[in-house]
């Protein structure tokens, strides 16, 4: 799960990670008040779940509270387009107003999981403010990776490796060690899946601060972090994906025209792939899961049909735990209640496949039955071109 | 021959009194009766607080250690809900079981980071979590896969996915190619056993003639495996990667299936596999056919 920058900074501050002082505002007046409380020059930053906000005009300096009010009124309500939002952009509903920092150096600090070893890794670089993937690709010698033994967590010696790697001046080493240690403690205790402080800044007045914070959490661990779960901002997600999540359906909207309903994530991806190979494009990823009920299948079908770009539906089920007869009943019910104006191609194999086919055939509804993935995908494309 | 499990396997089911655990323990028993002559059966269950009861004729114990002592169980199959599953794995490992298969989907990554660290000091093999399990056709079914689609034979199957594994098995069987053992390694970011360990086992297994590796986007396990196989595996290898059309930055169902920072794309994985001499197919409909061709049988 993603959260906003302001939420990340508030959470990090609780763990003793140094962040600039600031406050969140939903109106220009609030922004003005926060700027007045902070005193001096402030930065007004649009709060959306996407990077590249500065380039898109979503981050502005303001020398006075009055100016803060003015730039906040420009940013609030704007549709911000960045390289991560897609061309449609995102509506800005909140701004974060923080004290401006007098920057001496920009650095990078992150904590990620190294999947090859199954261990968290602290990543640090003197090339702050840049895309870290680019640093890793072009100048890998400038990216320091320090693996962490989860049984020990970050010990001072681990933190010192990071701090000295960042070339922090002697008087900031102690503060740096504290920063790294607390950041890791946050990563571990809060079940973060990714932490990126980019940039981490060394200020002219001798402090280090998290100027930006990208914080992602492990969805599977949200049950033990109610405070984080409550930070979910559904406005930042696709409405159909939000709807699907209510029914425990794994749905991701894509931009093609063939809706897919599949059981199992791997098979769902493979189904998208075969649609592409056959010359069409998938409209979504949808895994109805192993233990899908008739109701889940119905809801899934309704969500697929809510996408106006859909021109055909491909149902690909390999029955294991999910029995084909259950799937067939759900589809038949759904087709009766949802207005389906597009062709439906069904491929079923596995548990109770005969019963499933009988239910489909006996329903009197118009389905095309495919044999195997290739034949079915070809039938989908043929239906599209009809 | 086979790897990991066979007719001598004595399965213990952790979470046997739950809905999933109960149902699948029954399915494993059924497979044992119908396809394995009673071998590779479930001999014990564990649910804390329900020791002394029976689940479909299988004795239930409070702890894994009790169950092992009383029944000689030598492998654990876990169906415990996500908040408690990591603890269940640790209990099985601490009871010195050599094989632990965890089906549970949705275990927090942090829990698995700790489990994996703990297991470094043990000799146990963990398969999963978030996997369909392991099956040796005609020997033992230790998982949730539909047993009847499998066939005894000479192909080793390693896959991150559940239903996509069933798909490849069905395609292999259709080509007349049976399987020695099929292993679903799981779709989570941190899993117990990765491709390389299993490739080594299949390479050493005299009954395995060829191996098929089914991967998906995210991480670099497939590339690492391909590079390792180039040096260490003499048997023909076939590969497929799911998610060729997946957008970057999105988690495709499996917690580990995500392209991040341009890393872990299907194209990259297939390129490395191809370079390492693996027979790669772009089409999920031709996984079985590609194997048949690699063996000169199609």
Among all chains, which residue has been given the structure tokens 């109610």?
Answer: A226
- Residues in A closer than 8 angstroms to B165, CB to CB, are 266
Chain mean position to CA B75:
13
CA distance A236 to chain B (A): 14
Check the CA dihedral A369-B298-B234-B277 and report its sign.
negative
Q: Which residue has the higher pLDDT, A319 or A208?
A: A208
Check CB contact under 8 Å for A287 and B253. Answer: yes
pLDDT tens-digit readout, A99-117: 999 999 999 999 999 998 9
Q: Does A297 touch chain B (CB under 8 A)?
A: no
Q: Compute and round to an integer the Cα radius of gyration of chain B.
A: 18
Q: Which of B144, B163, B167 should we substitute to test contact with A (largest number of A Cβ atoms within 10 Å)?
A: B163
* Residue A320 confidence (pLDDT): 76
Q: Does A218 touch chain B (CB under 8 A)?
A: yes
CA distance A119 to chain B (A): 6
A5, two tokens: 């920058």
Which residue is catalytic, options A196, A236, A329, A378?
A196
* Residue A135 confidence (pLDDT): 83
Q: Which residue of B has its CA nearest to A285?
A: B252
Task: Work out the angle between the directed axes of helices B221-232 and B195-204 (0-180°, nearest 10).
Answer: 30
Give the number of other CB atoms < 10 A from CB of residue B110: 24
Find the angle CA(B52)-CA(B55)-CA(B58) to the nearest 5 degrees: 80
Find the angle CA(A201)-CA(A205)-CA(A211) to the nearest 5 degrees: 25
* Residue A324 confidence (pLDDT): 87
Rounded Cα distance between B100 and B82, Å, is 16
CA distance B166 to chain A (A): 7
Contact A35, A29 (CB under 8 A): no
The DSSP bridge partners found for residue B38 are: none
The closest alpha carbon to A38, from A96, A95, A94, A97, belongs to: A97
Q: Does B82 touch chain A (CB under 8 A)?
A: yes
Query: Is B261's pLDDT higher than 80?
Result: no
The closest alpha carbon to B5, from B212, B179, B122, B173, belongs to: B179
Q: How confident is the model at residue A272 (pLDDT cuts 50, 70, 90)?
A: very high
* Residue A85 confidence (pLDDT): 82
pLDDT tens-digit readout, B14-59: 999 998 899 999 999 999 999 999 999 999 999 999 999 999 999 9
Q: Distance between terminal CA atoms of chain A?
A: 41
Contact B21, B52 (CB under 8 A): no
pLDDT tens-digit readout, A168-191: 999 999 999 999 999 999 999 999
Summarize chain B as % helix, strand, coil (round to 5): 35, 20, 45
Q: How confident is the model at residue A38 (pLDDT cuts 50, 70, 90)?
A: very high
CA distance B70 to chain A (A): 31
Q: Distance between terminal CA atoms of chain B?
A: 25
Span A214-223, average pLDDT: 95
Class of residue A324 by CB neighbours under 10 A (exposed 0-12, middle 13-18, buried 19+):
buried
Q: Which of helix, strand or coil describes residue A119?
A: strand
Confirm whether A378 is a catalytic residue: no
CA distance A206 to chain B (A): 32
Tally the residues of chain A: 386
* Residue A65 confidence (pLDDT): 96
Check the CA dihedral A74-A77-A83-A84 and report its sign.
positive
Write out the DSSP string of B211-264: EEEEEESSSSHHHHHHHHHHHH--S-EEEEEE-TTPPTT---SSTT---BTTBS
* Residue A315 confidence (pLDDT): 93
Before A199, cis peptide (omega within 30)?
Answer: yes
- Residues in A closer than 8 angstroms to B258, CB to CB, are none
Q: Does B150 touch chain A (CB under 8 A)?
A: no
Rounded Cα distance between A184 and A177, Å, is 11
ipTM score for this prediction: 0.92
Task: Work out the angle between the directed axes of helices A294-305 and A239-246 (0-180°, nearest 10).
Answer: 170
Q: Which of B25, B83, B253 should we substitute to test contact with A (largest number of A Cβ atoms within 10 Å)?
A: B253
Check CB contact under 8 Å for B284 and A273. Answer: yes
User: Could you say which residues from 201 to 240 on chain B have a Cβ atom under 8 Å away from some Cβ of chain A?
Assistant: 214, 216-221, 224, 240
B195, two tokens: 């491709």
- Residues in B closer than 8 angstroms to A266, CB to CB, are 159-165, 187, 214, 216, 242, 254
Q: How confident is the model at residue A327 (pLDDT cuts 50, 70, 90)?
A: confident
* Residue A29 confidence (pLDDT): 97
Write out the DSSP string of A200-258: EEEETTS-EEES--EEEE-GGGGGG-HHHHTT--GGGS-HHHHHHHHTT-EEEE-SSSE
The DSSP bridge partners found for residue A146 are: A122
Query: Is A355's pLDDT higher than 80?
Result: yes
Check CB contact under 8 Å for A273 and B244. Answer: yes
Query: Is A321's pLDDT higher than 80?
Result: no
pLDDT tens-digit readout, B198-247: 999 999 999 999 999 999 999 899 999 999 999 999 999 999 999 999 98
Rounded Cα distance between B134 and B140, Å, is 8
Check CB contact under 8 Å for B242 and A193. Answer: no
Check CB contact under 8 Å for B190 and A268. Answer: no
The closest alpha carbon to A283, from A303, A263, A264, A265, belongs to: A303
**Which residues of B form the catalytic set?**
254
B78, two tokens: 């876990």
Check CB contact under 8 Å for A191 and B167. Answer: no
Confirm whether A196 is a catalytic residue: yes
Rounded Cα distance between A365 and A376, Å, is 18
Contact B46, B14 (CB under 8 A): yes
């Amino acid at each position: 799960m993603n959260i906003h920058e302001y939420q990340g900074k508030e959470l990090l501050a609780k763990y003793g990670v140094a962040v600039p002082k600031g406050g969140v505002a939903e109106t220009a007046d609030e922004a003005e008040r926060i700027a007045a409380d902070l005193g001096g020059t402030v930065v007004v930053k649009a709060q959306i779940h996407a990077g590249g906000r500065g380039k898109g005009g979503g981050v502005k300096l303001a020398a006075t509270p009055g100016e803060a009010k003015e730039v906040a009124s420009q940013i609030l309500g704007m549709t911000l387009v960045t390289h991560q939002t897609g061309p449609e952009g995102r509506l800005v509903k909140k701004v974060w107003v923080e004290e401006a920092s007098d920057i001496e150096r920009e650095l990078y600090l992150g904590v990620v999981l190294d999947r090859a070893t199954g261990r968290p890794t602290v990543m640090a670089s003197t090339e702050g403010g840049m895309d870290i993937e680019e640093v890793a690709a072009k100048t890998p010698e400038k990216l320091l990776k320090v693996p962490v033994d989860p049984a020990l967590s970050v010990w001072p010696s681990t933190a010192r490796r990071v701090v000295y790697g960042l070339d922090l001046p002697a008087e900031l080493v102690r503060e740096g060690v504290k920063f790294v240690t607390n950041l890791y403690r946050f990563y571990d205790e809060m079940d973060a899946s990714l932490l990126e402080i980019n940039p981490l800044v060394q200020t002219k007045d001798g402090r280090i601060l998290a100027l930006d914070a990208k914080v992602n959490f492990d969805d599977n661990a949200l049950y033990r972090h109610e405070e984080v779960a409550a930070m979910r901002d559904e406005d930042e997600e696709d409405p159909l994906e939000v709807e699907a999540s209510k029914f425990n359906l794994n749905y991701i909207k894509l931009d093609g025209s063939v809706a897919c309903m599949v059981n199992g994530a791997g098979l769902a991806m493979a189904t998208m792939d075969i649609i592409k190979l056959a010359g069409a494009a998938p409209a979504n990823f949808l895994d109805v899961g192993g233990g899908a009920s008739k109701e889940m299948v119905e809801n899934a079908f309704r969500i697929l049909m809510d996408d106006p770009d859909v021109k055909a539906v491909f149902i690909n089920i390999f029955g294991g735990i999910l029995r084909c007869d259950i799937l067939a009943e759900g589809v038949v019910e759904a087709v009766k209640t949802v207005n389906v104006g597009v062709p439906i191609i069904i491929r079923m194999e596995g548990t109770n496949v005969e019963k499933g086919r009988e239910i489909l055939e006996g329903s009197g509804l118009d389905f095309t039955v495919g044999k195997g993935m290739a034949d079915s995908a070809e039938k989908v494309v043929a239906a599209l071109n009809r | 021959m086979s790897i990991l499990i066979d007719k001598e396997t004595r399965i213990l089911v952790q979470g046997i009194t739950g809905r999933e655990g109960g149902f699948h323990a029954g399915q494993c028993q059924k497979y044992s009766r119908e396809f394995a002559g009673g071998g590779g059966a479930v001999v014990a269950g564990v649910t804390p607080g329900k020791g002394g009861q029976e689940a479909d004729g299988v004795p239930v114990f409070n702890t894994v250690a009790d169950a092992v002592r009383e029944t000689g169980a030598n492998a654990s199959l876990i169906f415990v809900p996500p908040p408690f599953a990591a603890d269940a794995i640790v209990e099985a490992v601490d009871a010195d079981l050599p094989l632990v298969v965890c089906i549970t989907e949705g275990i927090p990554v942090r829990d698995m980071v700790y489990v994996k660290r703990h297991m470094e000091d043990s000799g146990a093999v963990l398969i999963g979590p978030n996997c369909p399990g392991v099956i040796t056709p005609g020997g033992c079914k230790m998982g949730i896969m539909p047993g009847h689609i499998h066939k005894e034979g000479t192909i080793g199957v390693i896959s991150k996915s559940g239903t996509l594994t069933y798909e490849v098995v069905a395609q292999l069987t259709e080509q007349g190619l049976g399987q020695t053992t099929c292993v679903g390694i799981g779709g989570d970011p941190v899993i117990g056993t990765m491709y390389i360990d299993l490739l080594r086992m299949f390479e050493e297994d005299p009954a395995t003639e060829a191996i098929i590796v089914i991967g998906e986007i995210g991480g670099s396990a497939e590339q690492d495996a391909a590079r390792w196989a180039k040096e260490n595996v003499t048997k023909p290898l076939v590969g497929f990667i799911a998610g060729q059309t997946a957008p970057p930055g999105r988690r495709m169902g499996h917690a580990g299936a995500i392209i991040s920072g341009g890393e872990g794309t299907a194209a990259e994985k297939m390129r490395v596999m191809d370079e390492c001499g693996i027979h790669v197919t772009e089409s999920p409909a031709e996984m079985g056919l590609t194997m048949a061709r690699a063996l000169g049988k199609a």
